[in-house]
């Protein structure tokens, strides 16, 4: 009996070791079975980053073959990924949070595509990261969020100064006298947070549930003081719930997509606002009417924009003068293009996520992962 147990134990160890070795060596097969992708960002045709749930944990992944295979870029910290910022193929920042191990967050930074990570205990654990490369020096900001109550999110602004994160702006809280002058408001969901290359001009796009109340806040001193930007074009949607999307700075222009729901006509007005003077004035560059709400709006450059709906994509290659309707894989919830032909779609199936690829502008899609 004892001898049989020993033989069984040896066989178990042998086969267990073979299984582990297969998973490591055949990483493509292994990763096709497990990760559930939440977000991806391609830097060029081959290189990209992703955040995915793998065996119950959030992890960062990279690809070097256009998304066919993904490699885990793990860190030693155990916790939830709360925020990330991917600058290029080599540089990335990932914010982890674990309230049991550390009351705030742990920010990891890599300069070599995840081969090495540098950790930093930070005074925040939820919000939005933003970084700039200014002549080889990295400028960083963090919009700290304190939960979400009925669409209202109190926020503070931190800035990376001499490799330390410093609180530079205290946002508004109900009945709180500690806020900065002209504080970022408590009300509304802060959807987009960016800075321009001058490291002084920045924006926070805020979405409110009340009709016509969504807004844009601006800073001209690197995030220390903020003020609400008066944009007359928003008055066109004053009687509508305004959804706001990510601001994009490209070729000297800021492009800001927004949409408004018309309860009477039961449709959506989608507007593309543009500023050519660093946000001081805005004009309408293009608009369209559609029957359903956009899931995502992706701005590639001045001419190429993509509006994702449920199982359908509207695209323009001429700055909104004309639009083409094309089909996307079922369940697509994120879209990205690196030129007017090459793009990827992240789609949710019944159990997992899949990544699809197009090389003809979205007319044909092939499953990459």
What does the pLDDT read at residue 182?
Answer: 84
Q: Residue 59 falls within a domain, yes or no?
A: yes
Strands 305-309 and 253-262, bridge-based pairing: unpaired
What does the pLDDT read at residue 176?
Answer: 67
What does the pLDDT read at residue 170?
Answer: 94
Q: Residue 147 falls within a domain, yes or no?
A: no
Distances in whole angstroms, Cα of residue 342 to Cα of each of 49, 67, 319: 17, 12, 18
Q: Grade residue 13 by pLDDT with cuts at 50, 70 and 90.
A: very low
Model confidence pLDDT, tens digit, residues 265-322: 899 999 999 999 999 999 999 999 999 999 999 999 999 999 999 989 999 999 999 9
> Is 80 exceeded by the pLDDT of residue 178?
no
Q: Grade residue 177 by pLDDT with cuts at 50, 70 and 90.
A: low
What does the pLDDT read at residue 193?
Answer: 98
Q: Residue 112 falls within a domain, yes or no?
A: yes
What does the pLDDT read at residue 148?
Answer: 61
Q: Residue 70 falls within a domain, yes or no?
A: yes
Please report where in the chains the tokens 């309707």 appear, as a residue. 325
Q: What mean pLDDT, rounded, does the chain reach?
A: 87
What does the pLDDT read at residue 150?
Answer: 56
Task: Name the phi and psi angles at 55, rounded to 5.
Answer: 55, 45
> The domain containing residue 95 runs over which residues?
35-99+107-123
Q: Residue 263 falls within a domain, yes or no?
A: no
Task: Say if CB 217 and CB 152 are below 8 A apart.
Answer: no
Domain count of the fold of the chain: 1
Q: Which of 61, 69, 68 is nearest to 41 (CA)?
A: 61
pLDDT, mean of residues 151-155: 84
Task: Check residue 33 and give left, alpha or beta (phi > 0: left; psi -120 to 50: alpha).
Answer: alpha
User: 262 or 134: which carries more pLDDT confidence?
Assistant: 262
User: What span, in angstroms and rounded, lies between the C-alpha atoms of 254 and 196?
Assistant: 9
Q: Residue 118 falls within a domain, yes or no?
A: yes
Q: Residue 90 falls within a domain, yes or no?
A: yes
Q: Residue 240 falls within a domain, yes or no?
A: no
Cα dihedral 169→174→178→179 (10° resolution): 30
Task: Say if CB 294 and CB 268 are below 8 A apart.
Answer: yes
Model confidence pLDDT, tens digit, residues 26-52: 233 334 445 799 999 999 999 999 999
What does the pLDDT read at residue 26?
Answer: 26
Model confidence pLDDT, tens digit, residues 75-103: 766 778 999 999 999 999 999 988 776 77
Q: Grade residue 173 by pLDDT with cuts at 50, 70 and 90.
A: confident
> Is 70 exceeded by the pLDDT of residue 14?
no
């Amino acid at each position: 009996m004892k001898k049989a147990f020993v033989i069984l134990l040896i066989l178990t160890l042998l086969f267990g070791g073979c299984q582990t070795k297969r998973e490591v060596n055949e990483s493509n097969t292994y990763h096709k079975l497990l990760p559930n992708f939440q977000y991806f960002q391609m830097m060029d045709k081959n290189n990209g980053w992703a955040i995915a749930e793998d065996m119950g944990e959030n992890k960062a992944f990279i690809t070097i073959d256009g998304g066919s295979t993904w490699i885990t870029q793990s860190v030693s910290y155990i916790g939830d990924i709360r925020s990330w910022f991917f600058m290029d193929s080599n540089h990335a920042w990932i914010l982890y949070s674990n309230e049991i191990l550390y009351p705030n967050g742990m920010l990891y930074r890599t300069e070599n595509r995840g081969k090495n990570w540098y950790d930093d205990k930070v005074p925040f654990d939820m919000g939005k990261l933003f970084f700039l490369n200014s002549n080889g020096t990295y400028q960083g900001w963090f919009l700290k969020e304190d939960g979400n109550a009925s669409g209202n999110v109190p926020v503070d602004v931190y800035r990376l100064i001499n490799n330390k994160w410093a609180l530079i702006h205290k946002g508004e809280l109900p009945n709180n006298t500690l806020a900065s002058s002209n504080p970022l408001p408590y009300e509304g969901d802060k959807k987009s947070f960016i800075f321009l290359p001058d490291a002084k001009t920045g924006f926070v796009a805020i979405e409110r549930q009340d009709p016509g109340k969504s807004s844009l806040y601006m800073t001209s001193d690197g995030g220390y003081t903020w003020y609400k930007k008066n944009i007359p074009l928003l008055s066109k949607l004053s009687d509508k719930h305004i959804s706001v999307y990510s601001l994009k700075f490209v070729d000297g222009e800021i492009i800001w997509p927004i949409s408004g729901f018309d309860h009477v006509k039961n449709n959506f007005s989608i507007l593309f606002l543009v500023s050519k003077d660093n946000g001081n004035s805005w004009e309408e560059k293009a608009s369209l009417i559609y029957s359903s709400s956009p899931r995502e709006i992706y701005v590639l450059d001045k001419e190429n924009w993509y509006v994702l709906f449920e199982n359908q994509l509207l695209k323009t290659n001429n700055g909104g003068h004309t639009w083409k309707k094309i089909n996307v894989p079922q369940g697509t919830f994120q879209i990205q293009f690196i030129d007017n032909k090459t793009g990827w779609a992240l789609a949710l199936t019944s159990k997992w996520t899949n990544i699809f690829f197009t090389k003809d502008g979205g007319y044909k899609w092939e499953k990459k992962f």
